[in-house]
C-alpha cells in the first residue's frame, strides 16, 4: 500500500499543480469573487501548456519525469521572473541588475544549464517529483486557507461600504420617469478650466440651463480615479479599507468593481420600482455585462500580467505588429465611444411598459483626444503618450464633447414619451497635471441634472458625487438617507 502511494506521488502532477498554485496565489493577493472564472480558466490553460511542453521535451530527454521537470523549470521562469526582478531592485536599490538586457540572458543560460544537467544525469528523478508534488500541495492548502480568510475580509469590507438593499423602501405613489446617467470621463470643472487652462466653458452651462438643467456649482468628485469614483458613486458611500498608502492597486480596483456590479441602487430600481436596466459602460452591472472592455485591467491581466510572457508582450509587442494593428489599438476607445453612443440611441427606440435606467459611460474628453472642436479627427500618429498632456488638444476635444453631449440630450428628450431624468456628471477632473499642482484640481468636475419637476432644492452648491444619488432618491422616491460630508481622497498612481 505504501509503495503504491509512493508510486502515485511520483507521477508529475506538478504540471497541473504549479499553475494552480501560481494563479491561486495571484487570486489571494488580489481577492475578488469576479476573479474565480478566470483563475480556473488560466489554471487549466497553463496546465495544458505545461503538459504539451513536457511532451515536447520528452522527445529530447527520452524520459517523461525528466521532461516534466525541464518543463516546470521553464514555466517557473515565466511565473517568477518578475518576483526576481523586483527582489534584485529592492536589494540593490537600483534597477541596473534587473534590466531585461542583463536578467534575461542570466535566466536563459540558467535554464539551459539546468535542462542540460537533467539530461546528463543518470539519477532516478522520482524522489524529486515527489518532493515538488508535496511542496506544491502544501503551498496550495496554505493558500486555500488564506483565500477563505480573504473572502471574509472582502465581504466585511463590502458591508462597511455598500448601503444594503434592505434599507431601501418601496414607493408605490412615486412617479417612475426614465433615468439617464451620462458620464463623461475626465471632464474638468469650470474652476479647473479657468485656472489651469485659462478657458471659459460657461457656454455649456448656458446651453444646459436653456434645456432646464441645474448645474451644481463647485462640484467635486470624491476620488481622482475612475473605478474608485464610480464605486463610491453607486454605493453612495466612501470606500472602506483602502490601502494605507492610498496607491492605486488591483485589490482596490476589484473591490470597486464589485461595488458597481452589485450596487443596491440599481437593484432597488429593478426589483422594487420595476425599472429595465441598460448598461453601456466598461463595468459589469448586475445581470448586465459590460459592452466594451478596459484592456489594462482585465481579470486575465490581473492574474497573468506579471508573467514574463505578458511583460515581454507589453514591453516589446508593439514592435512586432503591423502599423495598421497599432493604429487600430490606438483607436479602440474611439470605437468604444461610438458603440456606446449607438447603443444609447437604440435604447431610445425600445418601446416597453417598464421605465428605463440607462447608464452610458463615455471615455471623453479623456485622453486620447480624437477630435478638435470642429470635429476634425486628430492624426493617429499624434496620439502619443506625450500628447496626453497637451492642454490645447484637451480643450479642443472638450468642446467637441460638448456638442456630442448636447445633441444626445436633445435626442433623449425628443424621443422620450415622458420627460426623463438626465444626470450628466464626470468621474473626476483633468489629471494630466505637473506633480506640484494643487491636488484640488484633480477633483473639480461636472455635475448637472435635469428633473421633470424642476425642483432642485436638494442639489446644493459644492455637492460631491457621493451625495448625488442620495439627493435624487430623496427627491424622487422619498428615501431618507442623510447627506455625507463632501470630501476628496487623492489616489496615487
For the chain, the structural domain boundaries read 2-153, 177-477
Percent of the chain clearing pLDDT 70 (strictly above): 96
Residues 62 and 236: their CA atoms lie apart, in Å, by 63
Residue 277 has pLDDT above 70, yes or no: yes
| pLDDT tens, residue by residue, 333-386 | 999 999 999 999 999 998 878 999 999 999 999 999 999 999 999 999 999 888
> Where is average pLDDT lowest: 101-105, 138-142, 342-346?
101-105
Per DSSP, 178 falls in state -
> Where is average pLDDT lowest: 67-81, 107-121, 239-253, 308-322?
308-322
Give the confidence band of 126 by pLDDT, cuts at 50, 70, 90. Answer: confident
Q: What single string gives the DSSP state of each residue in 46-84?
A: HHHHHHHHHHHHHHHHS-HHHHHHHHHHHHHHHHHHHHH
pLDDT for res 271: 95
Residue 329 has pLDDT above 80, yes or no: no
| Phi/psi at 165 (5° precision) | -60, -30
pLDDT for res 320: 64
pLDDT for res 295: 60
Angle (CA) 125-129-130 rounded to 5° is 120
CATH class of 177-477: alpha beta
Residue 412 has pLDDT above 60, yes or no: yes
Plot region of 472 (φ>0 → left; ψ -120 to 50 → alpha; else → beta): alpha
pLDDT for res 324: 73
Percent of the chain clearing pLDDT 90 (strictly above): 81
Residues 355 and 407: their CA atoms lie apart, in Å, by 22
Give the confidence band of 73 by pLDDT, cuts at 50, 70, 90. Answer: very high
Cα 235 versus chain centre, distance: 16
Give the confidence band of 75 by pLDDT, cuts at 50, 70, 90. Answer: very high
pLDDT for res 89: 81
Residue 2 has pLDDT above 70, yes or no: no
Of 245, 290, 142, residue with least CA distance to 490:
245
Give the confidence band of 1 by pLDDT, cuts at 50, 70, 90. Answer: low
C-alpha cell at 159: 458591508
Q: Give the chain's radius of gyration (CA, Å).
A: 27
Burial of 412 (0-12, 13-18, 19+ CB in 10 A): buried
Residues 268 and 232: their CA atoms lie apart, in Å, by 17
The mean pLDDT value for 419-442 works out to: 97
The mean pLDDT value for 404-420 works out to: 96
Cα 90 versus chain centre, distance: 28
Average pLDDT, the chain: 93
Residues 358 and 344: their CA atoms lie apart, in Å, by 8
Where do the DSSP E strands lie in 255-388? Answer: 276-280, 356-362
pLDDT for res 74: 95
Handedness of CA 77, 81, 84, 85 (dihedral sign): positive
Residues 430 and 390: their CA atoms lie apart, in Å, by 11
- Side-chain half-sphere CA neighbours of 396 within 13 A: 19
If one compares 304 and 294, the residue with the highest pLDDT of the two is: 304
With contact defined as beta carbons under 8 Å apart, do 408 and 180 qualify?
A: no
Q: What is the dihedral of CA 367, 346, 359, 179, to 10 degrees?
A: 130
If one compares 433 and 86, the residue with the highest pLDDT of the two is: 433
Contacts of 405 (CB under 8 A, 6+ apart): 182, 184, 204, 424
Handedness of CA 300, 304, 308, 309 (dihedral sign): negative
Amino acid at each position: 500500500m505504501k509503495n503504491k502511494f509512493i508510486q502515485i506521488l511520483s507521477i508529475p502532477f506538478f504540471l497541473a499543480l504549479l499553475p494552480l498554485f501560481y494563479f491561486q496565489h495571484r487570486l489571494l493577493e488580489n481577492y475578488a469573487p469576479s476573479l474565480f472564472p478566470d483563475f480556473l480558466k488560466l489554471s487549466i490553460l497553463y496546465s495544458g501548456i505545461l503538459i504539451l511542453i513536457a511532451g515536447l521535451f520528452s522527445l529530447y530527454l527520452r524520459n517523461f519525469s525528466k521532461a516534466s521537470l525541464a518543463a516546470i523549470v521553464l514555466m517557473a521562469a515565466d511565473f517568477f521572473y518578475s518576483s526576481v526582478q523586483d527582489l534584485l531592485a529592492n536589494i540593490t536599490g537600483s534597477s541596473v541588475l534587473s534590466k531585461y538586457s542583463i536578467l534575461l540572458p542570466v535566466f536563459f543560460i540558467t535554464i539551459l544549464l539546468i535542462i542540460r544537467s537533467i539530461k546528463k544525469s543518470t539519477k532516478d528523478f522520482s524522489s524529486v517529483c515527489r518532493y515538488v508534488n508535496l511542496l506544491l500541495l502544501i503551498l496550495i492548502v496554505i493558500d486555500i486557507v488564506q483565500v477563505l480568510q480573504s473572502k471574509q475580509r472582502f465581504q466585511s469590507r463590502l458591508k462597511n461600504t455598500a448601503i444594503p438593499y434592505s434599507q431601501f423602501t418601496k414607493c408605490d405613489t412615486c412617479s417612475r420617469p426614465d433615468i439617464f446617467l451620462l458620464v463623461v470621463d475626465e471632464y474638468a470643472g469650470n474652476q479647473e478650466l479657468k485656472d489651469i487652462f485659462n478657458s471659459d466653458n460657461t457656454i455649456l452651462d448656458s446651453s444646459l440651463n436653456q434645456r432646464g438643467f441645474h448645474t451644481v456649482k463647485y462640484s467635486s468628485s470624491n476620488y481622482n480615479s475612475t473605478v474608485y469614483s464610480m464605486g463610491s458613486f453607486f454605493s453612495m458611500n466612501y470606500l472602506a479599507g483602502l490601502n494605507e498608502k492610498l496607491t492605486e492597486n488591483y485589490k482596490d480596483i476589484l473591490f470597486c468593481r464589485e461595488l458597481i456590479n452589485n450596487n443596491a441602487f440599481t437593484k432597488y430600481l429593478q426589483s422594487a420600482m420595476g425599472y429595465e436596466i441598460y448598461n453601456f459602460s466598461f463595468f459589469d452591472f448586475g445581470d448586465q455585462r459590460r459592452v466594451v472592455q478596459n484592456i489594462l485591467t482585465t481579470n486575465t491581466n490581473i492574474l497573468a500580467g506579471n508573467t514574463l510572457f505578458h511583460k515581454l508582450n507589453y514591453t516589446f509587442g508593439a514592435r512586432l505588429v503591423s502599423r495598421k494593428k497599432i493604429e487600430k489599438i490606438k483607436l479602440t476607445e474611439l470605437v468604444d465611444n461610438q458603440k456606446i453612443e449607438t447603443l444609447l440611441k437604440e435604447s431610445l427606440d425600445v418601446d416597453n411598459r417598464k421605465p428605463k435606467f440607462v447608464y452610458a459611460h463615455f471615455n471623453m474628453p479623456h485622453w486620447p483626444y480624437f477630435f478638435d472642436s470642429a470635429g476634425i479627427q486628430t492624426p493617429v500618429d499624434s496620439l502619443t503618450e506625450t500628447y496626453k498632456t497637451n492642454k490645447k488638444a484637451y480643450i479642443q476635444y472638450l468642446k467637441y464633447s460638448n456638442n456630442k453631449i448636447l445633441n444626445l440630450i436633445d435626442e433623449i428628450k425628443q424621443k422620450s414619451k415622458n420627460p426623463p431624468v438626465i444626470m450628466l456628471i464626470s468621474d473626476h477632473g483633468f489629471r494630466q497635471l505637473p506633480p506640484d499642482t494643487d491636488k484640488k484640481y484633480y477633483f473639480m468636475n461636472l455635475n448637472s441634472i435635469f428633473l421633470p419637476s424642476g425642483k432642485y432644492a436638494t442639489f446644493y452648491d459644492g455637492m460631491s458625487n457621493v451625495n448625488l444619488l442620495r439627493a435624487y432618491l430623496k427627491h424622487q422616491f422619498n428615501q431618507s438617507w442623510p447627506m455625507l460630508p463632501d470630501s476628496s481622497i487623492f489616489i496615487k498612481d
